[in-house]
Amino acid sequence: MPKITINGQLYEAAKGKTIIQAADDVGMEIPRYCYHPDIGIEGSCRMCLVEVKGTPKLLPACTTPLADNMEVRTDTQRVHEAVRYAMEFLLLHHPIDCPVCDQSGECWLQDYYMAHAGHDSRYPLGQKTRRRKAFNLGPLVKLDQERCILCTRCVRFTRNVTKTNEIQVFSRGHNSEIGIFEDRPLNNPYSGNVVDVCPVGALTSADFRFKARVWFLKGTDSVCGGCSTGCNLRIDHSARAAGGGIPGYTATDGKIYRTVGRRNVEVNMSWLCDEGRLSFHTLERWPRLWHANAQGEQKPVSSLLPAIHANFESIRAEYGDGAVAALASPTNTNEALFLMKKYFKGHVDFRLGREVDLYQQQQDDLLRRLDKHPNTHGALHLGLAGELGGLRRLRDLAEKKEIRAMWISFHPQLVGEDAQEIIEDLRRLIEALDYSVVSTTHDFAWTHGADHLLPMAAWAEEKGTYTNYSGRVQITNRAVMPPGDAQPLHVLMAELLNLAGVEVSIDPGAVFEWIAREIPGYAGLDYDTIGSLGAAVSPVPEEVLR
């Protein structure tokens, strides 16, 4: 472990690191544009120059490896001047169009100008080089060449991460500019990440630009619900509804505007796929179910739960516990699945069809997986792939009247050729049951046959945990309020258990502590130990995965 001092403070650093990495590890910020921890080092922007004792010239912190007893200074007059000159050089031909720039408020040029430069331009505005303004690089990304500082982060992302090489530096010297070849648009499945890595307003998101000023948004750390990888992300949403329970809440409050990648080296580095990045739009893609109803009549959820419990109890009393079951969704949180298993006395399955065969398969070499559910692994850990045999067998059992009443939890994350078949099976299942309850995020015609229909909170509208394909349990957070009377499934299950005489808190953290007491792989964990980056749990046994 090399010992180094930074600004007179002694640190021990890991071997093989550079100065900037060591400074990042101890929370000391060295300015940078071209350096990004996950795309390879370039050393071109000259923003990270530092003084190293015994070296006559300033050295770039991003390319200089640590040596034992190195003495680094980032706070001298020489360093401050070097950063200021680098800033002046980078801004020489910049259009300074912050008032109409979508990056304004989160632009590194703005931040570093205020912190390190503060100079007046020596270059007359009318003589600045004009370049091409906002044009499409691909379906998700626009480029403004005038704002580009040629840090090459975007080039290195497509070269080193996706290995698709769409973005290049064209021409030389003063004429250098970022672009794509005409016949090769930026349309790889991870293209949106170049917007995240661009430190300035040169690359902007076609989906997000001009929808909201970033200083009006609140960021909530969460994980993607788009597949079983569980990439870490931040949900940027309007701030009013973030606390929940806000009086006068309406459909337009608590809107999600975008998601951006959040670094977790154990899961997704800094990246999201485009499908996952845009998956929040599914919250509004189809009509949401706002209110509970019983055979077409609108009812408050709280008034229906006692009737639902009474119906399940009377069927249990007449036909036995085995006549009542539930079909959960692998989009439900561990907390919801666990309480569902408790209320339905273990008679719970979650398998709908083909996706079960795919749950360990990758979709590509980077992040995407064929299982488009965030919590298949959690459902397996909780033992929900048991003798009930999945949707088709449940349908058969209902048609043979061996099962008479069910709760079906449904989130429309169905993909693939068999989606229609699954919906037909669900419709037949409801038809065959004596009594059925469907909790759903969206209002679909096939659910109307259920005796009771309950609106359910979706991803980003509830707090809980998902366990990803590699066995990492992570917290998914509530960023916005669910519409109308919709509630998280774990709350509905806790209330049913309370009606059954089992005292259960609706606090998901308390439910997780119960999980940790009962499920061996989760022992010793709670929301604090899981933290913002998740925790590894014991893998699902091989025989369950087969």
Site residues, ligand SF4 (CB under 6 A)? 148-154, 178, 197-198, 200, 202-203, 224, 226-227, 229-231, 268, 272-273, 275-276, 367-368
Q: What is the CA radius of gyration of the chain?
A: 27
Which one, 273 or 348, has the nearer CB to ligand SF4? 273
Which one, 6 or 178, has the nearer CB to ligand SF4? 178
Which one, 228 or 409, has the nearer CB to ligand SF4? 228
Which one, 259 or 447, has the nearer CB to ligand SF4? 259
Which one, 323 or 530, has the nearer CB to ligand SF4? 530
Tokens of 186: 């930026």
d(CA 39, CA 226): 24
Closest approach of ligand SF4 to the CB of residue 178, in Å: 5
Contacts of 375 (CB under 8 A, 6+ apart): 228, 330, 331, 332, 333, 334, 337, 466, 467
Closest approach of ligand SF4 to the CB of residue 265, in Å: 14
Q: How many CB atoms lie within 10 A of CB 49?
A: 23
Q: 89 phi and psi, to 5 degrees?
A: -65, -45
DSSP reduced 3-state for 178 = strand
How long a stretch of residues is the chain? 546
Closest approach of ligand SF4 to the CB of residue 151, in Å: 4
Closest approach of ligand SF4 to the CB of residue 179, in Å: 9
Closest approach of ligand SF4 to the CB of residue 379, in Å: 16
Closest approach of ligand SF4 to the CB of residue 294, in Å: 36
Closest approach of ligand SF4 to the CB of residue 224, in Å: 3
Tokens of 131: 């370049």
Closest approach of ligand SF4 to the CB of residue 36, in Å: 9
Residue sitting closest to ligand SF4 (CB)? 276
Beta strand pairing status for 435-440 and 452-455?
Answer: parallel
Tokens of 459: 């991803």
Q: How far is CA 271 from CA 8, 180, 182, in A?
A: 35, 21, 26
DSSP annotation of 369: B
d(CA 511, CA 509): 5
Which one, 197 or 479, has the nearer CB to ligand SF4? 197
d(CA 210, CA 197): 19
d(CA 177, CA 443): 49
Which one, 154 or 301, has the nearer CB to ligand SF4? 154
DSSP annotation of 357: G
Closest approach of ligand SF4 to the CB of residue 288, in Å: 21
Closest approach of ligand SF4 to the CB of residue 145, in Å: 8
d(CA 133, CA 202): 9
Q: Which contacts of 499-505 are long-range, i.e. CB under 8 A and separated by 24 or more positions?
A: 499/305, 499/306, 499/309, 500/309, 500/313, 500/343, 502/342, 504/339, 504/342
d(CA 21, CA 27): 10
| Cβ-count burial 232-258 (b if 16+ within 10 Å, e if not) | bbbbbbbebbbeeeeeebeeebbbbbb
Which one, 179 or 509, has the nearer CB to ligand SF4? 179
Closest approach of ligand SF4 to the CB of residue 273, in Å: 3
Which one, 144 or 462, has the nearer CB to ligand SF4? 144
Closest approach of ligand SF4 to the CB of residue 24, in Å: 19
Which one, 231 or 429, has the nearer CB to ligand SF4? 231
Which one, 254 or 276, has the nearer CB to ligand SF4? 276
Tracing tokens 């959690």 back to the chain, one arrives at 378
Which one, 2 or 179, has the nearer CB to ligand SF4? 179
Starting at the earlier edge strand, list the strands of the sheet with 405-410. Answer: 297-299, 292-294, 452-455, 435-440, 405-410, 324-327, 348-349
